[in-house]
Structure 1
């Protein structure tokens, strides 16, 4: 597998800043579709659970509904990107995400909430796949993995903003969770507007090429990605609930969540050089092992210092896993195969996320909310072992 080549010394100052700025605006896609639409639910969950009298399994089912939508969106994304191009697909996903966030505030009926969260998942998958293709084109033009890692680190902005605002608001007025969803929808609208031109792609081959899914040669990466997807989502979904069960003060929950987002935003500085120089399997194994350790730390101690280390390490790694997988796909396939292969891997990712939150919540209902953290640690550790195993010859 080829790594991303290093740019020539005389081209970097002239070309990279423009690509980085475009990637930063494109990253508002993951900020909205992932950081706000998916991960902020972990902050809203305690208030919604209290107000609507949910069990942890019932609360986790909303994340499962979001993942079912993500699964549907992943199946559609490759087709949409080939038919309409990644630009239209990305913009469609952004609009759908904003509308679904607003719809989540309309009714407290469980079926309505499930429907809205499913629609948000569809929009998120369209953004994820199409944005990944656009970022990959940017990485090829810049001769650097930075556009890819910057794009995925955008989720950290959504996490940081929701972490800084939602816990305090809901602690004083837990019944106002619909207003919180409206605020998140407003951010999604602004993100859609700001990222609109950054998603523009001029190459006609991205629309017309009939690429193929190239999964067989990357099957080990796909299995590790499946395990990661089933595990990582439990941490961000149930972390607030686990901390609340331990009587952690609201300001500490808010600070920890904000640290998680800031750490995710800073991740490209740490991982860009390694993604460019290390073999893809080594990068993925290292990320997954760090995730397993980070998610297990709160099980060892509930002290604030340990929790801070946990969220900082987790934030610096969890959104870099999709970036590393995308970079692996980019190095192992032809440009015309990027969209269908990313779509296939996003389907694998969505399948893991569909089962993970419900299963972790069901286990926690019979034990404690801390079991969700153990779930994340176990599945990420298993994924690291799969990624680290020696690969056979490519087929």
Structure 2
């Protein structure tokens, strides 16, 4: 379990710092650089495009370097990309930095997910999977407790994230081991079609979930939330993510078919919709608790279904394929939602999340437990 905990710093860095913390820095960057909401959304679209490229390259990187080395290099380069985001005000340069963080983050996510799946298989427990993905909560909590207090100093925020990611890389370095996974190991075949009732909800989740986190701070700022309130909201959401393994470890591996995935997506939809009811602090806190306690368990539930439905030699290729689909969805989501919000309000971004997650839930519950494909 100690290995899984240190490995979870991978998602803390690749997701908590490199993707989700941007939502905290967005208001200051938007004010300082004069961005529209569409431009603000384009930053996470660039991160999504990089993530898509990283997902496409991950199987090749793992084949060349091995799973453990891919994870370690991904962590190191993520720290560099985060710190580099502080170096310029140019829109194109910032897009490039966000894209680079997406590329490296995807490699960390896929390689770490494969290692966590192997740990889970050896221990016959879902805990290593949910712990790995819940590591994002630590990144959210650390970011939420520190970034809002910086005010307009968004460059300092990015440098701080880079330093935090570098520390995470060092601490997780020896946790990324695969007990005999040589660089030349084959990564197998991707098996997506037999799992389409899992893949499609995952894409809908990808299009919708990131929008809530990207625009949450802007949504609260438009409703005159104080810095202290924003700090509290993000810290509580991060802590809810950290607590999620205790709630969902058994469900993601034990509930039949797509029941766990459908339940998680339904709760996400409800949590996002709750924020539309009122901007009052108790309501927003209830929203982020529901959201935080479930959203990072969606990849865990999907990875568990991949593990159930494919032979071990196909895990890397299939997880990479699912991550590619996911990346394609989350690339389009923030930009489209930002365009809609420019013509309506930031509330439209929250509604976007609720509708797409509800649609994914309706599909996911129809999935049956897959039968593992025959060994190649």
TM-score (norm 2): 0.97
Say yes or no: does 1:337 pair with 2:314: yes
The aligned residue for residue 128 of structure 1 is 109
Assess if the C-alpha contact under 8 Å between 1:86 and 1:207 holds in 2: no
**Aligned with 2:295 (options 288, 309, 318):** 318
2: CA distance between counterparts of 1:346 and 1:204? 21
What is the DSSP-based 3-state SS (H/G/I as helix, E as strand, rest coil) of the residue aligned with 2:31? helix
| 1:206 CA displacement | 7.9
| 1:290 CA displacement | 0.2
1: CA distance between counterparts of 2:226 and 2:295? 25
Assess if the C-alpha contact under 8 Å between 1:291 and 1:318 holds in 2: yes
The aligned residue for residue 364 of structure 1 is 341
Task: Identify unmatched segments of 5+ residues in structure 2.
Answer: none
| 1:153 CA displacement | 0.2
**Aligned with 1:98 (options 73, 76, 79):** 79
| 1:200 CA displacement | 1.5
The aligned residue for residue 168 of structure 1 is 149
2: CA distance between counterparts of 1:392 and 1:152? 22
**CA deviation string 1:109-163 (max 9, x = no partner):** 1111000000000011000000000001100111111111000000000000000
The aligned residue for residue 192 of structure 1 is 169
2: CA distance between counterparts of 1:390 and 1:124? 29
1: CA distance between counterparts of 2:122 and 2:263? 27
Say yes or no: does 1:107 pair with 2:82: no
The aligned residue for residue 285 of structure 1 is 262
1: CA distance between counterparts of 2:249 and 2:350? 28
Assess if the C-alpha contact under 8 Å between 1:330 and 1:338 holds in 2: yes
| 1:216 CA displacement | 1.0
Say yes or no: does 1:346 pair with 2:344: no
**Aligned with 1:294 (options 268, 271, 278):** 271
Say yes or no: does 1:225 pair with 2:202: yes
What is the DSSP-based 3-state SS (H/G/I as helix, E as strand, rest coil) of the residue aligned with 1:38? helix
Question: Residues 228 and 290 from structure 1, CA distance in 2 versus in 1: closer, same or farther, beyond 3 angstroms?
Answer: same
The aligned residue for residue 60 of structure 2 is 79
Assess if the C-alpha contact under 8 Å between 1:24 and 1:151 holds in 2: yes
Assess if the C-alpha contact under 8 Å between 1:206 and 1:336 holds in 2: no
Assess if the C-alpha contact under 8 Å between 2:134 and 2:297 holds in 1: yes
2: CA distance between counterparts of 1:47 and 1:373? 20
What is the DSSP-based 3-state SS (H/G/I as helix, E as strand, rest coil) of the residue aligned with 2:189? coil
What is the DSSP-based 3-state SS (H/G/I as helix, E as strand, rest coil) of the residue aligned with 1:32? helix
| 1:393 CA displacement | 8.6
2: CA distance between counterparts of 1:367 and 1:106? 33
Say yes or no: does 1:67 pair with 2:48: yes
| 1:250 CA displacement | 1.2
1: CA distance between counterparts of 2:184 and 2:286? 44
The aligned residue for residue 5 of structure 1 is none
Assess if the C-alpha contact under 8 Å between 2:76 and 2:169 holds in 1: yes
The aligned residue for residue 211 of structure 2 is 234
List 4+ stretches of structure 1 deviating above 3 A: 204-207, 390-395
What is the DSSP-based 3-state SS (H/G/I as helix, E as strand, rest coil) of the residue aligned with 1:253? helix
Assess if the C-alpha contact under 8 Å between 1:64 and 1:358 holds in 2: yes
1: CA distance between counterparts of 2:160 and 2:254? 41
| 1:391 CA displacement | 5.4
Assess if the C-alpha contact under 8 Å between 2:9 and 2:169 holds in 1: yes
The aligned residue for residue 157 of structure 1 is 138
After superposition, the CA RMSD in angstroms is: 1.4
TM-score (norm 1): 0.92
Say yes or no: does 1:253 pair with 2:234: no
Assess if the C-alpha contact under 8 Å between 1:234 and 1:356 holds in 2: yes
2: CA distance between counterparts of 1:230 and 1:96? 26
Question: Residues 393 and 184 from structure 1, CA distance in 2 versus in 1: closer, same or farther, beyond 3 angstroms?
Answer: closer
The aligned residue for residue 16 of structure 1 is none
